[in-house]
Amino acid sequence: MPTVRPPAVAGLFYPGEPVQLAHDVQQLLAEARSYDLIPKALIVPHAGYIYSGAVAATAYAALRSVAARIRRVVLLGPTHRIAVRGLALPGVDAFDTPLGRIMLDAEAMRTASHLPQVTLSAQAHALEHSLEVQLPFLQSILSDFTLLPLAVGMATPQEVAEVLETLWGGDETLIVVSSDLSHFLPYATAQRVDNETVQSILQLHQPLTHEQACGGTPINGLIIAARHHHLAPHLLDLRNSGDTAGTKDQVVGYTAFAFTPTTKIAERTGYVD
């Protein structure tokens, strides 16, 4: 029997009842703005669906044209509860959600585990929402895929980039980085701070701090990888909880990005292999 991580935040961050969850995710995807893109990587927020679900859906809706060929998802998100050195694998065979079971990519996990910055921590994954909230979207937009989930703790951008390089693959592999932006700032202040963060990502400038983005560490690694692979970042959405379902006195920022291959990115940024 496979070892399985059960859902930890079903019924809290998103509906726990399968029919309601499937309906809500499909509705969010149907209402999302369409983009004619071929993403290799995404940045997606990870708050409760009532707050950031519409922003997340904009990123996942951008996969429609390539969904049929994606067979593996490398998913990175920050740890919120357990301190981890490096990037942690979960030590299980599968993740469950109310929509079903997702098998993990055992071969890719073995490959990643040979890197010194990759560790094993079931505790880091057990209650972590940053990865879990992405799964129903992936299950709804992709048809058949395996997952490689990494809980990112204390790591350098270069260490994250090395893991991404090891797992980069081809068109069959999608990279998803889970991150919110600023936390608990007044609405106007958050807009200013988040706009500056977005501009840094658009210009492939790092490092981002954890005050700018709670998933700053995996984003920094993705930026290095994007430079190396000549990926162009595209801003799909930028909002905060004051725009969706919260008050405006203290808000959390959300953004959605797609990174697509282009030969022009080296010329635009001045980065070459």
Both tokens assigned to 152: 């990112």
Report how far residue 240's alpha carbon sits from residue 182's, in angstroms, rounded to the nearest whole number.
Answer: 9
Cβ 241 vs Cβ 18: under 8 Å = no
Q: What is the per-residue pLDDT for 263?
A: 58
Is residue 248 predicted with pLDDT exceeding 60? yes
Of 34-38, 114-118, 237-241, the one with minimum mean pLDDT is 34-38
Q: What is the per-residue pLDDT across 170-218, written as a single tens digit (0 to 9) for each?
A: 999 999 999 999 999 999 999 999 999 999 999 999 999 999 999 999 9
Please state the rounded mean pLDDT for residues 100-122: 98
Is residue 264 predicted with pLDDT exceeding 80? no
CA-based angle 194:199:205, to the nearest 5? 115
Q: What is the per-residue pLDDT across 53-101, written as a single tens digit (0 to 9) for each?
A: 999 999 999 999 999 999 999 999 999 999 999 999 999 999 999 999 9
Contacts of residue 57, defined as CB under 8 A and 6 or more positions apart, other chains included, come to 25, 28, 29, 31, 32, 137
SS3 state at 43: strand
Length of the chain: 273
Is residue 163 predicted with pLDDT exceeding 90? yes
3-state secondary structure 206-253: CCCCCCCCCCHHHHHHHHHHHHHHCEEEEEEEEEEHHHHCCCCCCEEE
Residue 266 — very low, low, confident or very high, per pLDDT cuts 50/70/90?
very low
For the chain, list the domains and their CATH numbers. 34-268 (3.40.830.10)
Indicate the DSSP class of residue 10.
Answer: B
| DSSP E strand boundaries for the chain | 4-5, 41-44, 72-78, 87-89, 94-97, 100-103, 118-120, 146-152, 173-178, 183-185, 231-240, 251-261
Q: What is the per-residue pLDDT for 262?
A: 86
Q: What is the per-residue pLDDT across 234-243, written as a single tens digit (0 to 9) for each?
A: 999 999 999 9
The pair phi, psi for residue 169, each rounded to 5°, is 65, -155
